[in-house]
Every structure is written in structure tokens, then in C-alpha cells.
Structure 1
Amino acid sequence: MPVYKGEKRGTYWVKMQIELPDGTKKQHKKTGFTSKGEAQEYEAKMKAGVLENVSKLTFEAVAIKYLNWYETRRKPASFAKVEPIARKYLIPYFGKKKIERISTADIIEWQDYMMKTKFEQRWGTKKILANDTLLSIHTRLSAIFNFGMKHHNLKTNPAAVVGNFELKPVKRLNFWEVHEFEDFYNAIDNIKYKIAFLLLFYGGIRKGELLGLQWKNVDDKKREIFIEVSAGKFGVDDTKTEASERVVSIPESLVKLMMDYKESLPEAFKEDDCFILGEIGTRPLSPTQLDRMYDKYLKKSNVRRIHIHEFRHSHASYLINKKCTITVVAARLGHKDVAETLNTYAHLYPNSQDEAIKIIEQDIKI
């Protein structure tokens, strides 16, 4: 199986025999290598069986290989979001088809099917999927084809050629105003959960960041908390991004409440490595327990429901309404740059045009 060099383009190519699923053999040709070494490496892998014959692979086989690859390289929480997409919406539809035979026409038919079909939800009802969900599913489909191209000699990505659903993501930005949070807060009868929801509303931290807080992360003299990890049902992990690792100033009254709570705990639960909200000091509070307590106090207060993550939106909205600069809002939320914050919260500055024109009106000379 020699390596050849094309005269016109100057690239290299290899030719070899491969075995088809029915046992017959045929010539296989692979072109477009930029160097002789690259072509030889491909040839060696084919000889060793490292590169499987793509004509043998079904979509399901490649999708499962992709999931296995993803699971070993990404956080468990990320994998927990990706796996159900592949197993519920992609593998059942494309599963047994040979992946190299899936065409752009097949992708278009799949998109039509996805936009028209009502899928069963966790609570038993069926509904058409939201725009954001459809866009996310297509992104994952394209990622599987890209994986096939990179690792299994697939030649094209029909999902990328077709492009994502021609749908606009629906931006849902729900939040509480201060009086709503106060009504909710007044229904809380446990100091631990008072601290939890105060940190979410007035700290703007994420749920996982809250659960990952340890006593060593609290500086009661400087009135600061240091966010360095995130906790969830898969354990303790790094923060969402590098920018998420940050220092957040908190009100003096909240610091005092936290210190009073700490004083009430057994000595074994006051150690630096103990989790502030942990039911057992060295183990963080479970996210489901926080959810249960949120539901309890929500019903008791009769305040309209928002998602726990939307406490962050509430915090941002509160600061913006208090004329806090966007750079400070971005820093407190742990965004990597101001652009991310503006992209999410720009519409909360409804009077910005009015303020701008007032300034211009004062200076313009006509």
C-alpha cells in the first residue's frame, strides 16, 4: 500500500484494499494529505485497524463513540445534558442508518419532523419543543458528524451543510423585584436557608457556587466570599469558567447572620473545609434538598415562581436599577467580559436613550 504524490496539487494520497461488511473487498483511496508523513500515518492506522471502515458504521455506533469520548473529557454535569439529547432525539431517528449515507435531504426531513412532533415531557404531557431546545439538539447532531469526520474518516457533515433550524432563540429573562424577594424571605423559618437565599439574591452567585461554599471562603473582616468551586449532584468541581472564580462583596448584615449561624454549629462543622450549607459538614447540601426547601417557602409566601437560577437575573436587575455600572455587574456575576453581561441584560436599561438625549440637548447649539 504505497503512498503517492499528486502532480497537480502536490498533495499525497494512499490506496489500499478494505473489507466490506459482506466479506468482499474493494479498493479504498484517501486523498488530500499535506505531507507524506501524514499519509503514512493514516496508512499505518488503517493497517492496525485503528481507523474503522466508515462504510460499516451506523449513526448509532458513531453517536455512542462520541458519547464515550465526551464523557471522559467533559464535566459530569455537561455530559448529563448531552447524553439525553443523543439518546432521545438523534439515535432513535438516525440509529441504524449508515452514517456516510445520511444526506442533507435526510437532515431537512429530520428538522421538519422535529418541529412538528410533540415529545413527552418529564411530567407526562406532550408538547412541541422550544426553539432553544431544537437549536441545541441540532448543534449536538452536527458535533456527532464532526466527530465522525475527525476520528472515523467520514467525508462530510450534512448537518453543517444544511445549517441549524431557522429559528430565533427565545430569551426568557424572569426575575423578582426586591419587594417580592422580601415576601419570600419573610416566609423562611430556618437560618441556614435564610443565608442561602440571601446569597443567591444579594450575591448573584450560581446555585452550584452556593452549594460549594466552605467556611474558608468567607472573610468576615473584609465582608467577602471567595467563589472557587461549584457543587452539584455529581460532586464538587471547578467553577463554570475561569472568570467564575472570583471575590464577591456581601452586606455586613449578611456576614453577621453567617457568623451567628456558624457559632450555633457543633465544633466539627466549623472547620475551614466544612461546607457552609452542608447537612454533614464535609459534604455539601444536595441541590434537590435546596429545591425542596425553595418549593416549601415559595408556597408559604405565595410569591410567583422563578427558577433558582433567575435569582442571578434578579440580582443583576436590582443592581442595574440602582445605577450600578455594567463592569461591576459583570464582575459580581463572574462573566468573562462586559459583552456577555450586556448581551444578557442590555434591555434592562430602558431609559438609556432618554438619558443620552438629555445630555445632547444640554450641549447642542443649533
Structure 2
Amino acid sequence: METVATGVRTAEAIGLQWKHIDFIKNEIIIKESLPIDPLGNGYTRSRKGTKTGNIRYINMSEGLRALLLCLKKPGDTLDTLIFTGPKGGTIDADNFRERYWAVVLEKQGVPYRTTYTTRHTMASHAIEQKMSLTGVAYLLGHTDTTMVMKTYGHMINRPDLPDIPI
């Protein structure tokens, strides 16, 4: 799942279908998610709108565009999920985390962190690159900048030391 490049929520990435990718406009349309159904058995997912009900358009980087083009298979339709489990079905986030995420982190010598950390990584990089708070909030799907300020306020306008000859 490509949450680190986009900042989308896990359920938004799991629910992405090819109809949400516009290679002509070079954007991803985030308007649905595939969260776990609270009335299901813990594995059942139900398609619904985003957490905040907003639709957002995320411009693809060249790398993300190339990745998505590599994932597209000849038989895929507009309704085909982009990210699937090993047998082609909906991703089980717990299974993904245990069988792939944790294994890759361990093999790379990286201390365990949740997959949700990738969302924070994207936001942190955006702030470090001086993206506006409204821009970061938009990419994350927040309705305003309140959550961005609460979560990342310590990073905002962090000054550099002046260049003093030593």
C-alpha cells in the first residue's frame, strides 16, 4: 500500500480502485474507503465515503505514477482493487501487518512501528518542505488545520540557528 507517498488512510488505500486513478490528469481521487464493517466478523469490509466525507484530489509524483502503472494488469476493470491480498481479494490489514510489514521492518533492522506511521511520515516531510498547513490538512483529508497543528505543531516554523562564524 502506498500510504507513505500519499498520506491516505489505510482504509482509503485498501479501497482504491482503478476508477480512482486518472492518468490523464495525473491524480488520485480519494472519495471512498473500505473500512472494517463494525457489524461484520472482523474481516468484512464495507465500502463507504471517506472518514470526513470529503473528496480530495492528490497529484501523483512520477514515482507513484510509475508504481501504479506497474501494478495495472491487462484484465483489470475500473472496479478492480489496486492493492489486493495474495489471492487477489481485499487486503486484510492485520495479515498484511504481521506477514509483510513486520517482517520487512525486522529484516531491515528498523524498530517496529505501525503502518499508520507512514501517514505521519508523509505529513512530516510535507511540513519540513514548507508546505502550507492547509495543504497538509487537505492531503491528509482533514476538514481544517486543527489536527495538523496539534500533531505537528512542534515542527512548524522551527527556526534554524543563525550562521555565526565559529
Give 1:210's aligned residue: 13
Q: Return the match for 1:273 from 58, 69, 79.
A: 79
How far off its partner does 1:250 sit? Answer: 2.0
How far off its partner does 1:237 sit? Answer: 3.0
Give 1:240's aligned residue: 51
Q: Return the match for 1:227 from 30, 42, 45.
A: 30
Matches within 5 A, 1:142-181: none
Q: Which runs of 5+ in 1 are unaligned?
A: 1-195, 359-366
- Number of residue pairs matched? 152
Q: Which amino acid aligns with 1:307?
A: T
How far off its partner does 1:278 sit? Answer: 2.1
CA distance in 2, matches of 1:350, 1:228: 31
Work out whether 1:290 is the aligned partner of 2:78: no
Aligned CA-pair RMSD:
2.1
How far off its partner does 1:288 sit? Answer: 2.2
Structure 1 289/222 Cα, relative in aligned 2: closer, same or farther at 3 Å? farther
How far off its partner does 1:331 sit? Answer: 0.5
Work out whether 1:335 is the aligned partner of 2:151: no
Higher relative contact order (CA 8 A, sep 6+): 2
Q: Which amino acid aligns with 1:311?
A: T
Structure 1 350/316 Cα, relative in aligned 2: closer, same or farther at 3 Å? same
Q: Which runs of 5+ in 2 are unaligned?
A: 37-42
SS of 1:248's equivalent in the other structure is strand
SS of 2:136's equivalent in the other structure is helix
The structure 1 segments of at least 4 consecutive aligned residues displaced by more than 6 Å after TM superposition are none
Whose Rg is larger?
A: 1
TM-score (norm 2): 0.81
SS of 1:226's equivalent in the other structure is strand
How far off its partner does 1:336 sit? Answer: 0.7
SS of 2:46's equivalent in the other structure is strand
Instruction: Identify the structure with the greater helix proportion.
Output: 1
